[in-house]
Amino acid sequence: MKKVVLHFGKGSLYSGFEAVVAELFLPNHQYPIRVTSSLPAAPAIAAAQQQWQSLYRTRHQNQALRIQLLHQEGSRYSDEAFTAACQQLTTELNTWLRSAEFCTIELLLRTELGRRDEIQIILETWDSQLRKLPWHLWRFFEDYPKAEATLSGEAWRAPSLVHTAARRARLLAVLGDSQTIDTQADFELLRQLPQAELMMLESPSRPLLNEQLWQPQGWDVFFFAGHSQTDGDQGRIYLNEQESLTIPQLKHALAQAIANGLKIAIFNSCDGLGLAQQLSDLQIPYIIVMREPVPDPVAHQFLRHFLNAFAAGATFHLAVREARQRLEGVEGELPCATWLPVVWQNPAAPPLYWRDLCLHRALHQRDRTSDWAGAIAAVGVSALVIAVRALGLLEPLELAAYDRLMRQRPVEPIDSRLIVIEISQEDTSQYGYPLPDQTLAAAVERLTQLQPAAIGMDLHRPQARGPGYDRLMQQFETHPNLFMVCAYGASDRSYEPPVSFSKAQIASQIGFSDLLIDGTAPPATAVVRRDLAAETPQSHQVVRRHLLSYDTSLQPSPSSCTTPYSFSFQLAFEYLWQQGVSPLDVNAEQRWQFGAVSLQELPQRFVGYQALEAQTSQILLNYRSNQPGQRLTLSQVLAGELDRDLIQDHLVMIGYTAPVSRDYFYTPYGSMPGVWIHAHMVSQLVSSVLDQRPLLQALPQWRSWQWGDALWILGWTAGSSAGMVYVRRLGQYGWVVIGLSQLSLYQICLLALARGLWLPWVPTALSLLLAAGWLSAWPRLSSSKPLSKLSAQPGSK
């Protein structure tokens, strides 16, 4: 918010103002912009103001006003004369402010201020006539819809902003002498304020009012409704039919209330400029008064509109402006209603919002209610999310989020140890589908001449496919590093191992090609499927896990695919054995171990998975963000377009990529041929042992009890809840903490996954949102707006 202070200095409307100083305070600027100008004498304004005031008071002589006495005997009134007086005063004021002497200041304001800026125009003067002018009618305010004029004396110091200890705004409402007026309507409007603790004193005695102002817990707002008046420069309020008092008579009590946190005084009563002047000497930040006698309907309408706008989030100044402008609706019956409200403020007071009264408190005081609300949010919401997660309800969301994080990881280099020979659509068009045995045998012969470490064929060959079958089978007998696949989960005999293979060959040169596919029936568990899809795969059926081995004795139906090891497992074992890695073994924890790398099997619950099957040995598949190996085609092999250095001592895999094979599956990276999925699996095992590339892990857990995930969710929720509570104490938006927490959580989860750790992103993010919702709703749920009402007969304590 931008602030303009106009110092009028010495002078009057009769003599003019020789030195009018304008100071413009801009955000993030240490020093103000300062210019000096002047204003000429304007006795016509003084005369017009006195004429308007006389006619206004005469017009309202017999109406229900919040003033004790009106002395306007002998005055005559007509609507025409009153309208003319209004126009005359408005014209004289704007003519005066457009004078050549004042142009320097207006030019500065219109140059430095934007039409959308929120602006305080503070008029600093001791001249009583200057204060009575309708400054809101200055045409400058028509061009700046978020500007508001306020009054101030010339003697002030920065207020000591102390915040009350309560979470809700504390209001002390005094309903004074109410003869001929309805002050209960004011009280009902105050009762509707959100997050407010209201104390009402109805027709109190002076000792009772004094006692309440001295309350050590302090008040944020002092409100008075009833009769009042100004005599000269001294204001007076009427507490009841017998007692009245001036501000100096409450000087010490009011000073103590201000020291305890009083920020606003509202006198919804008549003729209050004298009250504001005397109260400003005590350095209260903000005061609202009525400059003239105020009809009861105007007082009610202004209070209603002001409270609604202020509580809805408008600044104090703009709430007053909005309330004044909305009084135009009653000016048909009550002319000049918009002229009555006046704000008097300390120029050093910062902009004020309703939330400042509700959420601020002394930093050294603990808001136990908020602390308990935060603790309940952290523990209760975390427990709820963990329970919902354990039922598997979050699994689809967690797996989808996991896929997103996988795709966001940094690009990795290609695994140079791996060569994938694709049987493309061009190859099947040239050689036929399925690929004939003699063509496959010819390709294998060319490859074996280049001495690869191992050759794996992701092809099913239970029976001969044309001539050359014996030639192909002879290759397996000659080269023990040659591997083929079968599918133990398929009932079709087309996926059995070659009929000519011995049991020893099936165990040592055959690997099953079955893949674990999430999203297949039954919904709670993934099932083992053969690698050749019988139907078009669905986008929610995704390969995320790496099947290493299974217990053949648990196979529900007989199968000739009796190898207990996966295709990728066989190839990785062969390559690592040739690299001199310690033989594969089962360690003391009953885990597969290659050298120093232990393959930890997935338990029944693992991060997002909540119902994994227990009959297989499986780990998560840590896909490379790039393709896992170099790509060649079958035609290149048969044409002899191979470099020995490219093949020698490398892992070679052969498989279909032609769409006719229907050997495609969805992965976190989209649709992918089966041979490339197996290549990712082989690369994962080999890279983890030789390159220390991380296998995907989870936070610590004991069997299926995910206590590490639970602590992670609880810790994030507790920390963010505490941060939200703390920031809201300082008057800021707690949702900023949640937003930053969500952003930080996402980045941490992404960074962790890139380093091999799958963190529970979705349940943590959900827990943060639910906790934030709880903390936002808690003030409304807990703010029953406690109401206290004290009434006293005159003279009682």
DSSP per-residue string spanning 183-200: -HHHHHHHHT-TTEEEEE
Q: For residues 243 and 177, what is the distance between their CA atoms, to the nearest angstrom? A: 9
User: What pairing do the DSSP bridges indicate for beta strands 597-599 and 592-594?
Assistant: antiparallel
Instruction: Please answer whether residues 702 and 740 qualify as being in contact, where contact means their C-beta atoms are separated by less than 8 angstroms.
Output: no
Nearest to 708 by CA among 719, 716, 699: 699
pLDDT of residue 161: 60
**pLDDT class of 165 with cuts at 50, 70, 90:** very low
pLDDT of residue 526: 39
Distance separating alpha carbons of residues 483 and 480, to the nearest angstrom: 8
Whether residue 364 is predicted with pLDDT greater than 80 in this model: the reply is no
Pair 599, 695: CB distance under 8 Å: yes
Residue 685's contacts (CB-CB under 8 Å, 6 or more residues apart) are: 568, 569, 572, 576, 594
Residue with tokens 């002018």: 133
One-letter amino acid of 632: L
**What is the 3 state secondary structure string of 98-156?**
CCHHHHHHHHHHHHHCCCCCCEEEEEECCCHHHHCCCHHHCCHHHHCCCEEEEEECCCC
pLDDT averaged over every residue in the chain: 87
Evaluate whether 166 touches 141 at the Cβ level (below 8 Å): no
What's the CA gap between 257 and 323, in Å, rounded?
27
pLDDT band per the 50, 70, 90 thresholds, residue 557: confident
In order of their start, the domains of the chain are 2-152 (3.30.420), 169-361 (3.40.50.1460), 370-396+702-782 (no CATH), 412-690 (no CATH)
Question: Whole-angstrom Cα distance, residue 299 to residue 190?
Answer: 13
CA-nearest of 332, 571, 298, 289 to 456 is 571
Question: Residue 496: left (phi > 0), alpha (psi -120 to 50), or beta?
Answer: beta
Distance (Å, whole) CA 519 – CA 463: 33
Please report, rounded to a whole number, the percentage of residues in the chain having pLDDT higher than 70. Answer: 89
pLDDT digit string, tens, across residues 630-666: 999 999 999 999 999 999 999 999 999 999 999 999 9
Q: What percent of the chain has pLDDT over 90?
A: 68
Report pLDDT for 708.
96
Report the 10 Å Cβ neighbour count for 540: 13
Predicted local distance difference test score (pLDDT) of residue 66: 52
pLDDT band at residue 272, thresholds of 50, 70 and 90? confident
Is 398 strand, coil or helix?
Answer: helix
592 or 483: whose pLDDT is higher? 483
Query: Contact 752/764 with Cβ under 8 angstroms?
Result: no
Residue 5 has pLDDT above 60, yes or no: yes
| Two tokens, residue 494 | 């087309």
Q: Report which secondary-structure segment, H or E, holds 594.
A: strand 592-594
pLDDT-based confidence at 158, cuts 50/70/90?
Answer: confident
- Cβ 66 vs Cβ 293: under 8 Å: yes
* 755-793 pLDDT tens trace: 999 999 999 999 999 988 887 776 555 544 444 555 444
Residue 67 has pLDDT above 70, yes or no: no
Instruction: Identify whether the C-beta of residue 163 lies closer than 8 Å to the C-beta of residue 386.
Output: no
Number of helices followed by number of strands (H, E) in the chain: 25, 31
Q: Measure the CA–CA gap between 685 and 145, rounded to whole angstroms.
A: 69
pLDDT digits (tens, 9 = 90+) for 610-621: 999 866 789 999
Band of the pLDDT at 279, cuts 50, 70, 90? confident
How confident is the model at residue 536, as a pLDDT?
Answer: 58
What pLDDT does 751 receive?
97
Distances, alpha carbon 727 to alpha carbons 126, 160, 349, 379, 783, in Å? 41, 21, 22, 20, 19
Q: Check whether 415 has a pLDDT greater than 90.
A: yes
d(CA 251, CA 282): 8
Structure tokens at 278: 């005397």
Rounded to whole angstroms, how far apart are CA atoms 409 and 752?
Answer: 10
Give 295-332 pLDDT, tens digit per residue. Answer: 999 999 999 999 999 999 999 999 999 999 999 999 99
Going by the DSSP 8-state scheme, the letter that residue 602 receives in this structure is P
Alpha-carbon distance of 420 to 418, in angstroms, equals 7
Could you tell me which residues come within 8 angstroms of residue 751 by beta carbon, excluding any fewer than 6 positions away? none
Task: Report DSSP letters for 630-651, one per residue.
Answer: EEEEHHHHHTT---HHHHTTSE
The answer to whether 362 and 165 have CB atoms below 8 angstroms apart is yes
Tokens matching residue 46:
């003084």
